[in-house]
Amino acid sequence: MKQEIGKKRIIIAIDGPAASGKSTTARRLARQLGYTYIDTGAMYRSVTLKALQKGVLEDVRRSPESVSALLDDITISFDGDLVFLDGRDVTAEIRDNRVSREVSFISSLKPVRERLREMQQELGRQRAVVMDGRDIGTVVFPDAELKIFLVAEPRERAKRRYAELLAKGGELPDIDLLEDEIKERDRADAEREHAPLKKHPEAVEIDTSELTIERQVEMVYNLALEIEKGSR
């Protein structure tokens, strides 16, 4: 579906904590609107994966500024739903639970946030994009025409993460452990020094705990159409 001539091309920022439904909502919304979907969470996961692959995670913990060396020549690109790190498809690898455990730390580092913010702003320069993350509406695109903040109960989010891991096969963690990890990540994201997770005053908050994906996408889609048509 292509963007219709005459419609206002807007930036849609979807923020919220882990497993609140951001990525799925953003991906489907972009498809319905004919917009480009940019998964910023996948970008932070890609940097985390690179740190793990290079074996430098502990070095970065001791000396956070050393993360800059990882960013000097990093390339992250998208092709539909595929994510490429330095030219290699890492779509599945970045969803590994070890990446999930470490991404909050990596994404808290100022050099990482500054470098990826530059990349995200460049990707959104042509507008007609849907971006999801934790600081899109507050830091990356505070002037986005539509800002959404998705939330959900920790237990429900743990169930969603468990279902993702189940679909991929392999060893499954205890769901209580997943819930604890989600709560800890919420705390870390909210308390980090650089670009903490918070709701923009203009953002529309949607609790997805009891919503189907179809319903939450429909809600955001209708809001986007109102802005495109100039009626909101």
Average pLDDT score, the chain? 91
pLDDT in tens, 174-206: 999 999 999 998 998 888 887 888 999 999 999
CB 220 within 8 A of CB 135: no
Task: Report if residue 52 sits inside a domain.
Answer: yes
Task: Report if residue 232 sits inside a domain.
Answer: no
Tell me the HSE value of 181 on the side-chain side, using a 13 A CA sphere.
22
CA atoms 6, 4, 83, 192: torsion sign: positive
Query: Quick count: other Cβ atoms within 10 Å of Cβ 6?
Result: 7
* Domain containing residue 153: 11-219
**Euclidean distance between CA atoms 232 and 225, whole angstroms:** 9
Strand, coil or helix: 69: helix
Task: Report if residue 4 sits inside a domain.
Answer: no
Query: Quick count: other Cβ atoms within 10 Å of Cβ 162?
Result: 18
pLDDT in tens, 6-51: 478 899 999 999 889 998 999 999 999 999 999 898 999 999 999 9
Block residue for tokens 């990349």: 119
Task: Report if residue 189 sits inside a domain.
Answer: yes
Task: Report if residue 176 sits inside a domain.
Answer: yes
Report the predicted TM-score, pTM, of the whole model to 2 decimal places: 0.81
Task: Report if residue 203 sits inside a domain.
Answer: yes
CATH of the domain at 31: 3.40.50.300
What single-letter amino acid sits at 201? Answer: P
Domain count, the chain: 1
Confidence (pLDDT) at 74 = 94
Task: Report if residue 224 sits inside a domain.
Answer: no
Strand, coil or helix: 127: coil
Task: Report if residue 48 sits inside a domain.
Answer: yes
pLDDT in tens, 153-174: 999 999 998 998 888 776 788 9
